[in-house]
Chain A
Amino acid sequence: EPEVTQTPSHQVTQMGQEVILRCVPISNHLYFYWYRQILGQKVEFLVSFYNNEISEKSEIFDDQFSVERPDGSNFTLKIRSTKLEDSAMYFCASSDTANYGYTFGSGTRLTVV
């Protein structure tokens, strides 16, 4: 069964450093998403992406965050200057239509120290 692949599975970074979280969505999917889950809390929406642009973003997704689909296969989330409160599990998801189900990646656990 096709999978959404996320790398790395765990990243530790110093506060203030830039991090890039990588995702390879399912190849024929057109809609891409990032969600995050702070430990012990519910999953929160960050951003949706379609046709090479952001379709919607949450209040969390401020100027420190950006997304990119640099080469037609990868979908990346960049955090420019990490804060302690960015520590969370980050999930990438993709869908082949806006009305179909999602496939989630296994997540990247980001720890900011």
Chain B
Amino acid sequence: KNEVEQSPQNLTAQEGEFITINCSYSVGISALHWLQQHPGGGIVSLFMLSSGKKKHGRLIATINIQEKHSSLHITASHPRDSAVYICAVKVPPDKLIFGTGTRLQVFP
């Protein structure tokens, strides 16, 4: 069983739709990261969470430590949001365990 599970694996949306990507994990963590990977391969850090909720522009990330679950929401999605979104958990002493990613395509 993977230590970090993401759903859905693939997601297609129309521009303007509200999008939710889910992440569940089965290990003890010190933080959870949401990352974005574009087709060229580069990885960009979106959020780091250890509790509660964070918002940056149209992106919102939440985490429930008790349920070992996090969600990434994108409001008013846009074609430029098309990318792979990856959940990764930080486990002691100091490494990230990655999920397999959610491939998002937003069509005009």
Contacts and interface: CB of A to CB of B under 8 A. Distances in A.
B40 interface: yes
B42 A43 contact: no
Contacts of B96: 33, 35, 43, 45, 102
Interface residues of B, number: 22
Contact of B43 (A58, A99, A100, A104): A104
In this complex, the interface size class of chain A, counting residues with CB under 8 Å from chain B, is 20 to 34
- The interface residues of chain B, by DSSP majority, are classed as strand
B45 A89 contact: no
A104 B45 contact: yes
B95 interface: yes
Contacts of A106: 40-42
A89 B41 contact: yes
A48 B94 CA distance: 7
A56 B96 CA distance: 11
A103 B98 contact: no
Interface of A: 31, 33, 35, 37, 41-45, 48, 50, 55-56, 58, 89, 91, 98-107, 109
26 contacts: A31-B94, A33-B96, A35-B96, A37-B41, A42-B99, A42-B100, A43-B43, A43-B96, A45-B96, A55-B94, A56-B94, A56-B95, A98-B93, A101-B33, A101-B45, A102-B45, A102-B96, A103-B45, A104-B35, A104-B42, A105-B42, A106-B40, A106-B41, A106-B42, A107-B41, A107-B42
